[in-house]
């Protein structure tokens, strides 16, 4: 592939792109926008996955079909042209949202047969969009080269995430991976999105617990829930979808409109550690390559760090 030179910068959203421009960064700059921690992400080539993701995002009401499909087309085509650039720099954070982006991008770039040294990463334990220009610019000289070992670990983790059996995820919660310092805690948090013994994911339980301080607008409940996260990764639209799940029939755990939401009797029992939300609630939800249904209900035991499959 002929080179056009320059640098390809890839990051997580528009706020960082704005900082790139303000800092005077040259080169091609793209944002990787996708809530990969929710909805189907089965194994397959990037373009096929993007088609599945675009359909899901539209169905969830996260955007316009034409816009989302076009953004994915441009994004994917630019990444496929990675060999044209002198360097590819990935700018991502420590949270689950960003770490899944890192894995997807490195898994795709692994098939590009780029020579060593062409790919580097800036991984920050601060939210990049909240930095000022000087702070962001200071990170560029600290970028680390992506080695073959890092690439192999990323591909292995992506395969585990997109697989149909979540048991492989546990392996990544038990040990650090050189060059991917935030992968272990991110995957530990990912595992917690599976139902626990009470039938709730950690996000669902956090939404319920946000009501413990009393009724509030949904945006305040979102702030309360995110304050309990070690590394906040969820946007408000995703959180509001969680509230919708908890309010769903036949066994709602919360009720009432925004500003007046309260826990139902079922919700109060769940908060007290007494009950199983899935005993009467239908589940049909994707996490990566796993479709959780009544017949394929994987539960995660955080204390044992293990999955068990059973009926819902």
27-42: pLDDT as tens digits:
999 999 999 999 999 9
Q: What is the pLDDT of residue 2?
A: 55
How many Å apart are CA 138 and CA 117, to the nearest integer?
20
**How many angstroms from the chain centroid is the CA of residue 284?**
19
Q: Where does 196-282 sit in CATH, by number?
A: 1.10.10
Q: What is the pLDDT of residue 112?
A: 86
State the fold for domain 7-185: Rossmann fold (3.40.50)
Q: How far apart are CA 42 and CA 53, in angstroms?
A: 10
Angle between helices 65-80 and 96-109 (to 10 degrees): 50
User: pLDDT at position 8, please?
Assistant: 97
How far is Cα 230 from Cα 223, in angstroms, rounded to an integer? 13
pLDDT for res 116: 85
Pick out the chain residues at pLDDT < 70.
1-4, 311-312
In the chain, % helix, strand, coil (3-state, to 5) comes to: 45, 15, 40
Closest by alpha carbon to 11, among 181, 155, 117, 136? Answer: 136
Which of 302, 235, 249 lies closest to 60 in space, CA to CA? 235
Residues of the chain with CATH 3.40.50: 7-185
Burial 249-284 (b: 16+ CB within 10 A, else e): eebbbbeeeeeebebbebbbbbbeeebbbbeebebe
Number of neighbours of residue 78 by Cβ within 10 angstroms: 16
Is 236 in contact with 219 (CB distance < 8 Å)?
yes
User: Residue 227 has what pLDDT?
Assistant: 95
Which residues make up the CATH 1.10.10 domain(s) of the chain? 196-282
The CA distance from 151 to 161, in Å, is: 15
Question: Tokens in use for 307?
Answer: 């999955």
Per-residue pLDDT of 141-190, as tens digits, reads 999 999 999 999 999 999 999 999 999 999 999 999 999 999 999 999 99
């Amino acid at each position: 592939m002929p080179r056009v030179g320059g640098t390809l910068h890839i990051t997580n959203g528009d706020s960082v792109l704005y900082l790139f421009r303000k800092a005077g960064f040259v080169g091609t700059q793209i944002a990787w926008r996708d809530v990969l921690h929710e909805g189907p992400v089965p194994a397959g080539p990037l373009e096929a996955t993007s088609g599945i993701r675009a359909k899901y995002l539209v169905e969830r009401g996260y955007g316009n079909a034409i816009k989302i499909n076009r953004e994915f087309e441009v994004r994917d085509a630019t990444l496929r042209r990675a060999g044209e650039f002198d360097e590819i720099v990935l700018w991502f954070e420590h949270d689950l949202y960003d770490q899944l982006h890192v894995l997807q991008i490195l898994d795709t770039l692994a098939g590009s047969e780029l020579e060593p040294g062409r790919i580097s990463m800036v991984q920050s334990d601060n939210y990049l969009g909240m930095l000022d220009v000087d702070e962001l610019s200071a990170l560029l000289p600290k970028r680390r080269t992506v080695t073959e070992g890092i690439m192999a670990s990323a591909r292995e983790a992506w395969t585990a995430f997109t697989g149909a059996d979540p048991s492989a995820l546990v392996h990544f919660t038990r040990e650090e991976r050189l060059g991917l310092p935030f992968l272990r805690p991110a995957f530990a948090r990912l595992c917690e999105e599976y139902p626990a013994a009470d039938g709730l994911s950690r996000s669902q339980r956090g939404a319920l617990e946000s009501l413990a301080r009393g009724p509030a607008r949904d945006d305040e409940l979102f702030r309360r829930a995110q304050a309990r996260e070690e590394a906040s990764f969820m946007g408000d639209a995703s959180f509001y979808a969680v509230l919708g799940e908890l309010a769903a029939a036949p066994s709602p755990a919360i009720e009432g409109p925004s500003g007046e939401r309260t826990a139902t009797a079922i919700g109060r029992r769940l908060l007290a550690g007494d009950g199983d939300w899935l005993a009467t609630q239908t589940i049909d939800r994707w996490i990566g390559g796993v479709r959780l249904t009544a017949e394929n209900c994987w539960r995660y035991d955080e204390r044992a760090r293990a999955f068990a499959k059973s009926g819902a």
